Amino acid sequence: MEPEPLYNLLQLPKDAPGAVEKEIPQGEKKKYLPPNSRRDRKFEELQKVLTEWLNMTLLPEHIVVRSLEEDMFDGLVLHHLFQKLSGLSLEVEEIALTAASQRRKLGIVLEAMNRSLQVEEPEAKWAVEAIFNKDLLATLHLLVALARKFRPDLRLPSNVQVEVLTIESTRGGLKSEKSVEQLTECDTDKDRPARDIFDELFAATPEKVRAVKEAMLSFVNQKLERLGLSVRDLDTQFADGVLLLLLIGQLEGFFLHLKEFFLTPSSPAEMGATDPQGGKGEVTLGGRDL
């Protein structure tokens, strides 16, 4: 099967591959975002959330970001953002006018960011040249890392993945390879069932659990004192089901005849077992169907 032409992969005019070839020095690679990746809903949502976060953070600086691809390359926005987030002051010029000074400023800012993020330059998914050349993927990786460190409560879209086209310039021409780039991780909490109050209780500290048990014990004794009963240990005194039946009766306003269950059960069958008469498996307590 013939490889798909480059102009089809990037949806460019047929004469565009020549321009791409000039843009990539021989022996080097460059990543491209195909149009379908740019139109991905979650990819667009990630850019929107990050842009809103930047504009809220930089509002006191009177800085407005309209495009993550076009507004971040010269280091100005990243400079102000890092100072605002970290509280650190960087010794760089406020406004860099030439390409050389912009690249130099961006390098100083990224070096400080990498130290703060505890990321070594070879491991980083961003670099000075990538950001300076308006590489949207590199910019997004950097902003996601900053958000995770300085705004962990910021709700980023979960599991954002985009298809990326990597073009390599070789002696024989251009070679292309498709891959998937992971921008945000899966939010496993969204996939878990909702935690109820008992889940929260069991995850709480022992002091909180004891406080809840004491409150429950007080509630139970308040209801059972009319019957002249008291409970000292929730873990053991409800095991045979008798006090539970009496408590339900008090709460629901009905009376169970004493002949219908055992006040002092002496066997599992008397506490609550399968119907010994071979019925349909009803659970009984002292002969009473529940």
Q: Write the pLDDT tens digit of every residue in 21-64.
A: 556 767 677 888 889 999 999 999 999 999 999 999 999 889 99
3-state helix, strand, coil in the chain (%, to 5): 50, 10, 40
Mean pLDDT, range 165-170, rounded to an integer: 85
The answer to whether residue 212 scores a pLDDT higher than 70 is yes
280 has pLDDT over 50: no
- Name the CATH superfamily for 6-190: Calponin-like domain (1.10.418.10)
- How high is the mean pLDDT of the chain? 78
Percent of the residues in the chain that have a pLDDT greater than 90, as a whole number: 37
Instruction: Determine how many CB atoms are found less than 10 A away from the CB of residue 267.
Output: 8
Give the whole-angstrom CA distance, residue 62 versus residue 55.
9
pLDDT of 17 higher than 60: no
Per-domain residue ranges of the chain: 6-190, 197-289
Q: Which of 64-73, 94-103, 137-146, 235-244 is the least confident region?
A: 235-244
> Which fold would CATH assign to domain 197-289?
Actin-binding Protein, T-fimbrin; domain 1 (1.10.418)
- CA dist 51 → 37, 64, 94, 148 (Å): 18, 9, 22, 15
**Span 222-235, pLDDT tens digits:** 888 888 888 888 87
Answer whether residue 271 shows pLDDT above 70.
no
* Across 24-33, 83-92, 192-201, 220-229, least confident range: 192-201
Least Cα distance to 242 among 272, 269, 282 occurs for 272
Helices marked H in 233-284 — which ranges?
Answer: 234-237, 242-252, 268-272
Query: So what's the pLDDT on residue 203?
Result: 60
3-state secondary structure 148-165: HHHCCCCCCCCCCEEEEE
As a whole number of angstroms, the distance between CA 126 and CA 137 comes to 8
- Name which residue leads in pLDDT, 263 or 211: 211
* Amino acid 259: pLDDT: 65
- Ranking 116-130, 190-204, 245-259 by mean pLDDT, the lowest is 190-204
Closest CA to 37 of 27, 46, 50: 46
User: 274 - beta bridge partners?
Assistant: 283
- CB of 52 closer than 8 Å to CB of 44: no
> Which of these, 85, 58, 62, 209, lies nearest to 146 by C-alpha position?
85
Question: One fold for both 6-190 and 197-289?
Answer: yes
Distance of alpha carbon 76 from alpha carbon 109, whole angstroms:
9
pLDDT (tens digit, 9 = 90+) per residue, 240-268? 777 887 888 888 776 666 666 676 777 77
Give the SS3 label for residue 1: coil
Answering whether pTM is above 0.75, one says: no
Using 50, 70 and 90 to split pLDDT, how confident is the model at 199? Answer: low
Angle at 153 between CA 152 and CA 155, to 5 degrees: 105
Q: pLDDT confidence of 286, banded at 50, 70, 90?
A: very low
Residue 261: CB atoms within 10 A of its CB come to 20
